[in-house]
Amino acid sequence: MPTVQPCSIPLAIRRTLTLFVVIMFATASVARAHFIWLVPIDDGEKTVVQVYFGEDASPDDPELLNRLDGMTLEQFNVGSKLTKIELSLANGELSGTAKTAPDSLFIAKHDYGVLNRGEAVFRLKYYAKTGPSFGHATWTDADTHRHLPLDVTPIFDGNTIHIHVRFDGELVAGAQIVAVGPGMDPFEGITDEKGQVEFEKGNIGLYSIRARHIDATPGELDGKKYNDTRHYSTVAIELSDDGATAQHLQIPPLPEMVTSFGSAILDGHLYVYGGHTGSAHSYSLKEQGNVLRRVSLIGGEWENIAEGPHLQGLALVAHGSTLYRIGGFTAKNAAGEKHDLWSQDSVAAIDPAEGKWIDLPPLPEPRSSHDAAILGDVIYVVGGWSLVGEGESDWHKTAWALDLSEEKPEWKPLPEPPFQRRALALAAHEGKIHAIGGMQQEGGPTTRVDIFDPETGEWSQGPSLVGEDGITGFGSSAFATGG
């Protein structure tokens, strides 16, 4: 997985850790709206309902979860009473646990209070809902509008997603709808006189849908007068390939909060190495990890496998029974001292069963904030820069390949990439290497995608990532799975 390095632009990490493991980073440089989202994670015996507070149903700044004090979470089953679920805030995560019930919906409510935004003084109320995947009968059978003043019901007909919105039990026209999902352009629309709007489905995966309705009735709360009430209601829902409820594996949190680490999956385990454990833009040797950890994808706890150099901004890839650690940077300064950051050329391999690192031929030049991918028996390394203490960082124009099938593998140059980027994602798919997004030496973050064909030795430009600005591709992660 790719990693993120120090830069002049603040960074946000975002991606949830379900069966697919994803992780992203948060910034305050751009004003962002926040809404409550619920995502259920089922292990067959219990359902953990994860609560997120951000623009979509994925992790954002964990500190913001403190603002949800007083929120209620309940389990709803057709024909039965609501069951309250206790919420727990720990390790930067807010969640509640319930007994597994495939037909359940989960709903949340939170009165955020009165806000003053310039001349606008309004009351803010949040609602959220989640449950089975699209097409499940519970979505149409459950009368959750009796419990959620602003209620959103998604209906799927096999190709089109229909959204029905009710306010105080009545279908409401003029409600704003925003939806994002895999493989689709972000959708924005307004409900018609029947309280409905529709959009075409994208790909299989998690969809984040939200509605807004403004009640112009003025009022007063705790001595504070307001002009209107703004209601926001969200739905997080899976689109599966067979209409069945999508299943997720709950993976225990990492032992410590960390960013800019290397990560790979091997033999049913998730491995992570190194990373940054300090606060934003604070770097020191003590704040860099040097431990290879793993956890089983079918349950269990994190365990330490081996130690190594203190690194962040490295790449970690898996091939056969072996993990390969590539590059990264080390902070030579102590905490509180002036930063002294140095990219490394080290490459090492480890068989987790043996638990010992073996040095391989180093990179031709020190490199960090790059990414790596395996295609066949070859490791490809693309992107990144070289940090040299107090000197100017060198943005790499080179890319390299290491053929692991050779008796004495050596790094060999690839044709020069038509870009200089770091904090990018690299993925191997259908015989080609895809370099996705990242930060450009000139021009800032980008959604650009470049593709390398080892057969022809040529680079070509692919379709850009979907997003309103380049930050969509900054510090991203990518991998191929199931085609």
Give 396-406 pLDDT, tens digit per residue. 999 999 999 99
Is 316 inside a domain boundary? yes
CA count, 13 A, side-chain hemisphere, 159: 0
> Which of 176, 204, 239 lies at the terminal end of a domain, its last residue?
239
Give the structural domain span for 196.
35-239
Closest CA to 395 of 417, 425, 376, 428: 417
In this structure, the answer to whether residues 224 and 360 fall within a common structural domain is no
Is 182 inside a domain boundary? yes
Residue 300: strand pairing partners: none
Would you give the distance in Å from CA 474 to the centre of its chain?
A: 12
Closest CA to 413 of 438, 456, 380: 380
CA separation for the pair 462, 450 (Å, rounded): 5
Domain count, the chain: 2
Cβ-proximal residues to 21 (8 Å cutoff; 6+ apart), any chain: 251, 263, 265, 270
Is 11 inside a domain boundary? no
Other beta carbons within 10 angstroms of residue 388's beta carbon come to 14
Contact 417, 448 (CB under 8 A): no
Query: SS3 sequence, 385-433?
Result: EECECCCCCEECCCCEEEECCCCCCCEEECCCCCCCEECCEEEEECCEE
Query: SS3 sequence, 200-245?
Result: ECCCCEEEEEEEEEEECCCEEECCEEECEEEEEEEEEEEECCCCCC
Q: What is the CATH number of the domain that holds 379?
A: 2.120.10.80
Is 82 inside a domain boundary? yes
What is the rounded average pLDDT of the residues 319-328? Answer: 96
Phi-psi region of 318 (alpha: psi -120 to 50; beta: other; left: phi over 0): beta
pLDDT of res. 248: 47
In this structure, the answer to whether residues 100 and 228 fall within a common structural domain is yes
In this structure, the answer to whether residues 232 and 269 fall within a common structural domain is no
CA separation for the pair 183, 159 (Å, rounded): 13
Biggest alpha carbon–alpha carbon distance for the chain:
78
Give 360-381 pLDDT, tens digit per residue. 999 999 999 999 999 999 999 9
Is 123 inside a domain boundary? yes
Other beta carbons within 10 angstroms of residue 318's beta carbon come to 17
In this structure, the answer to whether residues 305 and 364 fall within a common structural domain is yes
In this structure, the answer to whether residues 302 and 370 fall within a common structural domain is yes
CA separation for the pair 477, 240 (Å, rounded): 22
pLDDT of res. 257: 94
Give 209-253 pLDDT, tens digit per residue. 999 999 999 999 999 999 999 999 999 999 987 544 334 456 789
Q: Which helix (H) or strand (E) holds 138?
A: helix 138-141
Predicted confidence band of residue 30 (pLDDT cuts 50, 70, 90): very low
> Which of 189, 224, 239 lies at the terminal end of a domain, its last residue?
239
Mean pLDDT (the chain, rounded): 88
Contact 343, 394 (CB under 8 A): no
pTM of the model: 0.55
Predicted confidence band of residue 23 (pLDDT cuts 50, 70, 90): very low
End-to-end CA distance of the chain: 18
Is 187 inside a domain boundary? yes
Give 436-455 pLDDT, tens digit per residue. 999 999 989 999 999 999 99
pLDDT of res. 299: 62
Q: Which helix (H) or strand (E) holds 94?
A: strand 93-99
Contact 13, 475 (CB under 8 A): yes
Predicted confidence band of residue 101 (pLDDT cuts 50, 70, 90): confident
pLDDT of res. 375: 95
